[in-house]
Amino acid sequence: MFHDFYAARFALNYKGLSLKSEWVEYPDIEAVYQKLGIETTDKNGDGSPLYTLPVIYDPSTQSAISDSMRIVKYLDKTYPNTPRLFPAGTLALHETFQSAWYRVRGPLWTVVVCSVCYCLNERSQIRYRTIVENATGKKLEDIRGEKEWEATEEAFGNLDKWLSANGEGKDELVMGEGVCYADLQIVSGLMWAKTSLVEDEWKRICGWHNGKWERIVNYFSKYAVVDL
């Protein structure tokens, strides 16, 4: 998923680790797994392996890892002198946050998913449309409506309340001070929306909750550099 791609990139850039990006078309993802000997971490609804990005290959350890959370755990362990994104004693917090974040990411997915297709090359568009329409039982263009927009705004309203519990001035980072992996999940979802939606749709999200979501994107913008 595109938002997971952003989480891994933000992590690498935040840690100051050098990287070289390679664009992979949707039909070619399985071949990458086979080439690098990676086992999938999830399955499709029919039980077949689910091949997703991001994937990283670290030549210094000859390790290939998929799934953004597993990637960031690997980076924390392998490069301990870089800023930790899972601070000591926070793994339980992050596991719990996963469930909370899915309640926001799910509605966001319905708003963004139909726009992503048009950001892809033709080969990937065909595969992407097939996967999404088979999973939802709907035409891509029928997934999003005003009801989905309203549900997404409500979900982000709950996220706003969770963050606001940290108090004024500390309500844009999950832990109040210091970046952690949960922050990367939030900003990655937002970047996914920003780069996929048309300008008016992105500005609609920016107008929610006193502009908090745009401020978060701006805060992390220096870690969003893409070397493609």
Q: Which two tokens stand for residue 35?
A: 């080439």
- Which pLDDT score is estimated for 46? 76
The CATH number of the domain holding residue 196 is 1.20.1050.10
Residue 199 and residue 103 in one domain: yes
Q: Which residues contact 209 (CB under 8 A, 6 or more apart)?
A: 156, 157, 160
Residue 141 and residue 212 in one domain: yes
- Positions of the chain with pLDDT under 50: none
Residue 114 and residue 219 in one domain: yes
Assess whether the previous peptide bond of 83 is cis (omega < 30° from 0): no
Residue 72 and residue 98 in one domain: no
Residue 48 and residue 101 in one domain: no
Residue 136 and residue 30 in one domain: no
Given 24, 48, 78, which residue is the final one in a domain? 78
Residue 108 and residue 52 in one domain: no
- Which pLDDT score is estimated for 33? 94
State the residue range of the domain holding 25: 2-78
Cα end-to-end distance, the chain, whole Å: 18
Q: Is residue 86 part of a domain?
A: no
Given 44, 78, 112, which residue is the final one in a domain? 78
- Which pLDDT score is estimated for 176? 92
Query: Mapped to the 3 state alphabet, what secondary structure does the chain carry?
Result: CHHHHHHHHHHHHHHCCCCCCCCCCHHHHHHHHHHHCCCCCCECCCCCECCCCCEEEECCCCEEEECHHHHHHHHHHHCCCCCCCCCCCCHHHHHHHHHHHHHHHHHHHHHHHHHHHHHCCHHHHHHHHHHHHHHHCCCHHHCCCHHHHHHHHHHHHHHHHHHHCCCCCCCCCCCCCCCCHHHHHHHHHHHHHHHHCCHHHHHHHHCHHHHHHHHHHHHCHHHCCCCC
- Which pLDDT score is estimated for 3? 56
Given 54, 78, 102, which residue is the final one in a domain? 78
- Taking alpha carbons only, the member of 58, 74, 109, 62 closest to residue 181 is 74
Q: Which residues contact 174 (CB under 8 A, 6 or more apart)?
A: 97, 163, 180, 182, 183, 186
Instruction: Kindly report, residue by residue over 27-60, the tens digit of the pLDDT.
Output: 999 999 999 999 887 877 777 888 889 999 999 9
Q: How far apart are CA 42 and CA 70, in angstroms?
A: 13
- Which pLDDT score is estimated for 41? 79
- Which pLDDT score is estimated for 180? 97
Residue 102 and residue 38 in one domain: no
- Which pLDDT score is estimated for 228? 52
Residue 100 and residue 198 in one domain: yes
How many structural domains does the chain have?
2
